[in-house]
Amino acid sequence: MRFVIVSFDGLRPDLVAPELTPNICRLQSLGVTLANHRTVYPSETRSAFPSLVTGTAPGRHGMVGNKYLDRSVMPPRYVDTSNAVLLRRLDVESGGRLISSPSLGEVLTTTGRSMAVLATNTPGTTRLFHHKAEDFGHVRLSGHFREACTPDDVLAQAEALVGRLTPAPPDDEPDRSGQDWVTEAFLGLVWPKYRPDLTVLSYGEPDSTSHFHGTGAETTRAIIAHCDRQFGRVLDWWEAQGRAEGVQLIAMSDHGHITGHTRVSVIDSLQEGGFRTGTAPGPDIDVVVVPGQVGALYLTEPGDERIARLVATLTGQPWCGPVFTRAKNDVEGIAPGSLGRHLVLADHMRAPDVSFAFRADDRIDPFGLVGGTFYDSGLPRNLGVHGGLHRKELAALCIVAGSAFPASGTVSTLPSGICDFAPTILHILGITGPATMSGRVLHEVLEGGPEASLSMRSQVFEAKLGSFRQVLHRTLIGETIYIDAGSAA
């Protein structure tokens, strides 16, 4: 039995429809749709995809954001995880501990199995799917970036078959060529010649186009349709050949998008509050503000009083959503008004001293989609953003099909999440997963149904400071935690 996971970066499940994504809808008729599926917090690509392959949340695997401050060295260094070369160097320097939990590529190798990656995401994201591929001789191909590809001879074969890698298009241009390249490389070379036990085929769209055109814009819908057509080629192959050969096909996304409606500056607001801020460590900086839609603040001197003062400044801002600090007890963070970051499964040594989501709401955007938020970037309003705790940021696509998932054309409404893929795949293969995995086996969609009745309960956590109030909603199935949403007012 083998697996092919096809990912659509940033695809909102509510954009899947027959007129826009007929092939994804075709897979729904052939498999099981997990309609209550969600990602991790922060709802960023390079936190979510490590959760896919490790079966656990950022608090265990350590990719705490697309960017973070590494304070394990002196002086502290700013890490942008889109840089594949930097990630390789950090893994080597740390003795293989870039990711704190074993990944699927590593686990499969111990049983003599193989994993392949073909992706059009950033080079760093492509590496994070299988960051040790070169150590095991496994295939990892990027649609654009040579520094993310391994082995060299497989890249040469792919270029001879499909054509040479081309540079990624400008940020504001949809990437069609990359999606075409990785699809052809999988169908024409990687599957017929190497037959990996697990393949991740990751389309980096519609995420990029959503960021620069808007989640429901015509340009974004056009690239969604293009990716769906490429997926249709994979689905045609699966129906004609792959399914008969025991391939289980999974379609997914890593997060959703909402729309930025009001631009703010975190740095300016904190400076007005008396903090010396910057985007990198320096002698005159007491708070490092990691750029991006996820609020990540690192203090030069992270004492409890300074953290409390920082949180008090944040919660006085109209743009501030849920706020997290290290735990004071089972619920509260050490700063009044904050929740413990363990509640969002983000308690890692690399975690910021203060993390927050921008305040979001359920307004209807110009494209008719639910979800708006404050945002911090130089881009215009009404473009797609993600990273926070709005339910539409956390919502993700998941469809499973194949002999292991027999109930074709059905829908499961039980909560599921991106951390559940790895333990479920290993269970089907008869492999015991590492103890670090916090996701669960999705017994309810497997052949034979649930092994036992599933207990489900809801949790609500609150924190207040003055007129600021935040609420976090979670669902538990057994011991597995799913984050439903977080809000503040």
Confidence of residue 449 (pLDDT cuts 50, 70, 90): low
Q: What is the pTM of this model?
A: 0.97
CB 47 within 8 A of CB 65: yes
CATH number for the domain spanning 129: value is 3.40.720.10
| Distance of alpha carbon 321 from alpha carbon 100, whole angstroms | 28
| Chain Cα centroid distance, residue 100 | 16
Phi and psi for 133 in degrees, rounded to 5? -55, -40
* 232 pLDDT more than 90: yes
Is residue 338 assigned to a domain?
no
Give the pLDDT mean for 278-303: 94
- Look at strands 416-417 and 37-38 and give their pairing: parallel
- Domain assignment present for residue 108? The answer is yes
Q: What is the pLDDT of residue 158?
A: 98
Is residue 29 left, alpha or beta, with left meaning phi > 0 and alpha meaning psi from -120 to 50?
alpha
Q: What domain count does the chain have? A: 1
pLDDT over 70 percentage in the chain: 99
Mean pLDDT of 200-224: 98
pLDDT attached to residue 447: 76
Residue 98 lies in a domain: yes
Domain range for 21 is 2-259+390-445
Give the CB-side neighbour count of residue 125, counting CA atoms within 13 A. Answer: 26
- Segment 18-42 shows an average pLDDT of 98
Nearest by Cα to 473 from 463, 483, 464, 465: 483
Does some domain include residue 218?
yes
The rounded percent of the chain whose pLDDT value lies above 90 is 96
Q: Once rounded to an integer, what is the mean pLDDT over residues 11-36? A: 98
Looking at the domain assignment, is residue 276 inside a domain?
Answer: no
The Cα–Cα gap between 192 and 196 comes to 9
Query: Where does the pLDDT of residue 74 fall: very low under 50, low under 70, confident under 90, or very high at 90 and above?
Result: confident
Contact 386, 256 (CB under 8 A): yes
Give the pLDDT of residue 406. Answer: 86
DSSP state of 206: T
Give, in order, the Cα–Cα distances in Å from 162 to each of 183, 188, 199, 325, 344: 10, 8, 18, 49, 43
pLDDT in tens, 465-482: 999 999 999 999 999 999
Residue 149 has pLDDT above 90, yes or no: yes
Dump pLDDT digits (tens) for 370-420: 999 999 999 999 999 999 999 999 999 999 999 999 888 999 999 999 999
- What secondary structure letter does DSSP report for 455? P
Q: Which residues contact 32 (CB under 8 A, 6 or more apart)?
A: 399, 400, 401, 405, 407, 408, 410, 411, 412, 445
Three-state SS at 99: coil
Residue-level pLDDT at 452: 54
Average pLDDT of the residues in 75-87:
96
Note whether residue 330 is domain-resident.
no
Rounded Cα gap, residues 47 and 28, in angstroms: 27
The answer to the question of residue 274 being in a domain is: no
Residue whose entry in the numeric block shows the structure tokens 């991790």:
40
Q: What is the pLDDT of residue 431?
A: 98
Averaged pLDDT, 154-160: 98
Confidence of residue 201 (pLDDT cuts 50, 70, 90): very high
Quote the tokens at residue 477. 């199935």
46 in any annotated domain: yes
Residue 308 confidence (pLDDT):
98
